[in-house]
Structure 1
C-alpha cells in the first residue's frame, strides 16, 4: 500500500471516529453480535445454571416494553444534548459545539439507548424464530435485563455529565485541555529529521534552494476548506525519497481555497503525478477547523468566551477572569517552545522541509487582545492581563513579533490600569 493510500485511510478514519454516529453504531453492532453468540449457547447456559423456564409470551411482552422504553429514553437523551448545544452556542461560543458532539460520554449513552431500541425491535420481528428454541425466551429475558441495567447506568451518567457540560467552568477546562494537546502535538513532538530554527525560509537572494536545482512548482489545494491536519513526517520522507525541498505555505487551521498553493517544491527534475498526489494527500482539508493540530483554535474559543463574558449584556467578570487563567496556562506552555520558522534537515545537513508555524503574536491578538478590548476599564481584567504579559515577556524563546505584541498589549492595559508593571495573579 502506497503512502498516498495510507494517508487517505488515515483521513477517512480520523473523520469517521469523530462522527456522532460512530460510537452508537459500535454499540448496536456489539449488542447484535452478543445476541447472535448467546442464543446458540443458551442450552449450555441452562445446563450450567438452574434458571426457570420463560414462556414466549413473556419474552414478547418484555421486548415490546423494552422497545417503547428505549424510544422514550433516546428522545430524552437527544433533548438533553440539544439543550447543551443551544446553551453553548448562545451563551458561550458556537465553536465549542464540535467538542460537545465528539464527547465520548454522550456518544456512549446514545449508543446504549439506540442499541436497546434495535434489540427490542429485532426481537419483536424474530419472536417466532426465538420461540422455536426451548431456551430462546430465557436468553431474550436475560439480554433484556442486561440492556435495562446498562440503560439505567448510562442515563444517570448522562444526566450527571450534561449537568457538568452546561457549566462554563467545565467548557473552559475542556478547551484548555484541547489547547495543551494541540500545542504539545505541534511543538513538543519530535519532528522527523533534524529540526533547525531558521530566521528565513532557507532560500538564497534569488529565491533558490541550493542543491535542489531550478525546477520549481507549486502544489495546489484540490478543494476549499480549512487545513485540518498536516502529516509533516510523510512530507519529510517524500522529500528524502524524491530528493526534494518542500516549503509548507500554510499552517494547520488556515483556510485554503481550491487552487491555492499549499506546497512550494524545488527539485532537480519534475516529480511524477503519483508523487505529487501522495504529497497532496499529506494535507487533510475539511469544512471546519479542528483542534487536533491547530493550537490556535481552542485558544480562540477561550478568547471568545472571555470577550462575550465582558459584553454589556452579560457583564460576567468572573468568567472572563477564568478564561484569562486558562489562556495564560496555554500561552505560557506555548512560550516554552521556540517560535521561529523551523526547518527539517537530513543526515547530511541539507534543508528538506520548511514549515510556517502558528505565531504566538497571533495567539495573543486573538485571545488577550479580544478580552482587553471588551474589558476596557475593568481593573481586575487588566491586572490579570498585565500579569500574564509580564510572565510571557520573561521567556527567552519568544520571537521579536511576539515581544512587539506584548509591549503593545501592556501599554493598552497599563494605560487604563494606571500601572507600569504587572501585578500578581490573585
Structure 2
C-alpha cells in the first residue's frame, strides 16, 4: 500500500522518538545499529526448537489426549491385581466389592452412549463452524481443551469398564483385587461426573459465532504478544544487497514455524548475519526467499538454514498474528453476505479486532535476548489494520451500522497511535467513499459521514498516548 497524505515514514518516526523512555530501538537491522525501526518494545519468547514445535503440535491433536487417557485407564484396571496385597482381607469383605461387576457393566454401557453423543456434538459443531462461520475457525474448536478432556474421559471410562469386566471374568482378581478395582471405579465415576458437568456447561456456547470470535481474538493477541520481531507502524519492503546469499524454501506452502536457534547456530558457524524475510504465515515456494545472508555459506549450512523453516499447506494461528485478523475479517464478511445479512456479527468482529490492535500498541518491553546472528522480520500496524478493515469495508459498504462502527474504530486507533493518524484517515476516507457508492438512503449515509467527522475531529490526544509521539 502506498504512502498517502499524512503518512509517517517508520524510519523518521522511530529515529525521532527512540529517545523516550518507553521505546527500545531495534539495533542490528544492518548489523551496526544504523537503522531504528521499532515503534514499541516487543515481547519475545525463548526460541522454540523444531522438535519442541512438532511435539506441541502432536499434543494438540484430538486423538493424542484420548489415546493417553485410554491407555491410563487400561493400566488402572489391570493395576488392581498388582495392588491387591495393599488391602487387608477383612476390609475387602466390608466395602461391598462384590458389586463391582454390576457397576462396571452399567459404566461400560453408559459411557459408550455418552462418548457417541460427545462425538456427534463435536462433529456438528465443526460442521457448523465450517459452514456458517469460517473453515479456518474449526481448528480452534478441535483444539478446545474442554472438548478433548470430555471425549478422552468418556472413552477412558468405557475402556476401563471393559477391561475390568474382562479381567474379572478371567479370575485374576481375588477378594482384595476386587476391592482395589471397586475403589478405582468409584474414583473414575467421580471424574466422569465432574467432566460431564463441565462439558454440559460448555455445550451451550461451543461452536457459536461469538465463541469463534472470542477464540480467534485470544489466539491473535497471544501470537502478537509472543511475536519475536520488531513492530512497525507502516510496512516496509526489504531487499537483499548485491552479493547476498539467498536462502529459498524447500517446498511450496505457508511458513508455520522458524527454528531461530538452528538459524543462529548455522549463521554463527558460517560467520554471517541472517535476515529473515518470511516469518510464520508467509507463502513461500522454491523460488521465493526465506531470507538471506550477508556472506557466502557452504551447502551444508545452507540446508540447515532452509530446514529451519517448517512449511505446511495452510496457515496457523500460533506464530502468525495477521492470520487471526484475516480470520476475523472472514467471519465478518460471511455475516455480511446476502444470505445471512447479520451486521451485528460484523460489528462484534470490529470490536474484537480493535482489542487485538490495542494489544499491538501496549508499551511494555521485555529483555529476553534475541537469537544472535538473526535479524527477525517485523510486523506492521498497517498490515494488521488492513487485514481486518479492507474486506469489511468492501462487504459492509451498504450497511450504515457497520460503516459507523468502522469509522469509530479507525478514529480511536488514530488517537491511540497518533503517528498513524494520516494513514488511518485515508483508510477511513476510502471506507466512506465505498459507503457513499452503496448506501441509497441519504439519512443513513449522513450518519456515516457524521461518524467520520466526529471520529477524526481535531481533539486533545490523551497525555499517556501523546508521550509516545
Of 144, 147, 170, 2:211 maps to: 170
Deviation at 1:76, TM superposition (A): 0.4
| Alignment match, 2:385 | 364
Q: 1:296 to 1:260 in 2, by over 3 A?
A: same
Of 275, 278, 296, 1:247 maps to: 275
Of 286, 292, 298, 1:271 maps to: 298
Is the aligned partner of 1:325 residue 2:342? no
Q: How does 1:307-326 map to 2 (within 5 A)?
A: 307-326=333-352
C-alpha separation between the residues in 1 aligned to 2:359 and 2:137? 22
C-alpha separation between the residues in 2 aligned to 1:122 and 1:104? 26
| Alignment match, 1:282 | 308
Q: 1:198 to 1:63 in 2, by over 3 A?
A: closer
C-alpha separation between the residues in 1 aligned to 2:449 and 2:427? 20
| Alignment match, 2:285 | 257
Q: 1:327 to 1:198 in 2, by over 3 A?
A: closer
| Alignment match, 2:5 | none
Contact 2:146 2:199 in 1 (8 A): yes
Q: How does 1:7-406 map to 2 (within 5 A)?
A: 7-46=49-88, 52=94, 58-186=99-227, 201=238, 207-208=241-242, 214=243, 216-258=244-286, 260-267=288-295, 269-273=296-300, 275-335=301-361, 352-394=373-415, 395-396=417-418, 398=420, 405=427
C-alpha separation between the residues in 2 aligned to 1:233 and 1:384? 43
C-alpha separation between the residues in 2 aligned to 1:332 and 1:160? 31
| Alignment match, 1:408 | 430
SS in structure 2 opposite 1:164?
coil
Q: 1:48 to 1:336 in 2, by over 3 A?
A: farther
Structure 1 segments, 4+ long, off by >6 Å, are: 197-200, 399-403
C-alpha separation between the residues in 1 aligned to 2:421 and 2:248? 30
Q: 1:250 to 1:8 in 2, by over 3 A?
A: closer
Deviation at 1:278, TM superposition (A): 3.0
Deviation at 1:363, TM superposition (A): 2.9
Contact 1:24 1:110 in 2 (8 A): yes
Q: 1:243 to 1:80 in 2, by over 3 A?
A: same
Q: 1:34 to 1:125 in 2, by over 3 A?
A: closer
- Unmatched tracts of structure 2, length 5 or more: 1-47, 365-369, 438-444, 457-469
Q: 1:133 to 1:93 in 2, by over 3 A?
A: same
- Unmatched tracts of structure 1, length 5 or more: 1-5, 209-213, 339-343, 347-351
Deviations 1:372-397 (A, max 9, x none): 22222322211211111122233145
Deviation at 1:403, TM superposition (A): 7.0
| Alignment match, 2:16 | none
Q: 1:201 to 1:257 in 2, by over 3 A?
A: closer
Deviations 1:251-304 (A, max 9, x none): 21122235643232232x43351x333323322222322111100111112111
C-alpha separation between the residues in 2 aligned to 1:190 and 1:139? 58
Contact 2:235 2:383 in 1 (8 A): no
Q: TM-score w.r.t. structure 1 length?
A: 0.80
SS in structure 1 opposite 2:294?
strand
Contact 1:130 1:136 in 2 (8 A): no
Deviation at 1:65, TM superposition (A): 2.8
Q: Which moved more, 1:223-232 or 1:41-50?
A: 41-50
Deviation at 1:158, TM superposition (A): 1.3
C-alpha separation between the residues in 2 aligned to 1:236 and 1:390? 41
Deviations 1:131-165 (A, max 9, x none): 44221222223222222222222122112112112
C-alpha separation between the residues in 1 aligned to 2:104 and 2:371? 64
Q: 1:91 to 1:46 in 2, by over 3 A?
A: farther
Contact 2:247 2:290 in 1 (8 A): yes
Query: How many residues are aligned here?
Result: 392
Deviations 1:6-62 (A, max 9, x none): 944223202201211111122123323434544323332336957526576x54443
Q: TM-score w.r.t. structure 2 length?
A: 0.73
C-alpha separation between the residues in 1 aligned to 2:312 and 2:237? 30
Q: 1:65 to 1:244 in 2, by over 3 A?
A: same
